[in-house]
Amino acid sequence: MASKGVKPQSSAAKSIIELVLTVLAAIGLAILIQAFVVKPYKIPSGSMIPTLAIGQRVLTNRLVSHPGLGDIVVFHPPRGADPDPPVCGVPTEGGGFQQACGVPTPQESSQTFIKRVVGLPGDRIQIINGHVIRNGKPESDRYIAPCADGDGCNFQTPIVVPPGDYFMMGDNRGQSDDSRFWGPVPAKWIIGVAFFTYWPPSRIGIL
């Protein structure tokens, strides 16, 4: 009879252990998913307005290292993006007023940026009034905020995106620190492609 009184305690202890193990497994899985598959990011600036607002939060697919044209990408820029004003990997014609930066500095910055891919490896890029002319054809850019007059709006001398690199620009063309000034981004510095926005609730949806 005494042994019968022990079973409920043993069963309860077993249930607690199973619960703890389940919770630990779930936490471990969540950490692995964030580290290697999906990672959340908070938009720190207005460079992607009107597509993404300051403080908006997105999920990024970290399995994609070779994005497509038009993808919104999280990445580390070249270290030339760190100084103010930024530094290009090679001098540009006309002091930077005629030609966008076509070559990044060789070092990777620790900063994390989010921009849109407007040029793929090998593409010939011009920028006129804030609009990208890619291989002689204007981009379909109804998503952008118009670019006001200024040096960052016109780079009519073409550059060719180097092999393995991607040319990034913010949708807020007049208020974005991007590849125009510090060059294309090597594929190895790309963290992932943003695919979903989950905050604020009014803007939940697929990107």
Considering the candidates 7, 15, 42, 115, report the single residue annotated as catalytic.
115
Considering the candidates 47, 109, 176, 179, report the single residue annotated as catalytic.
47
42 is catalytic: no
47 is catalytic: yes
Strands 72-75 and 190-199: antiparallel
* Catalytic annotation, residues: 47, 115
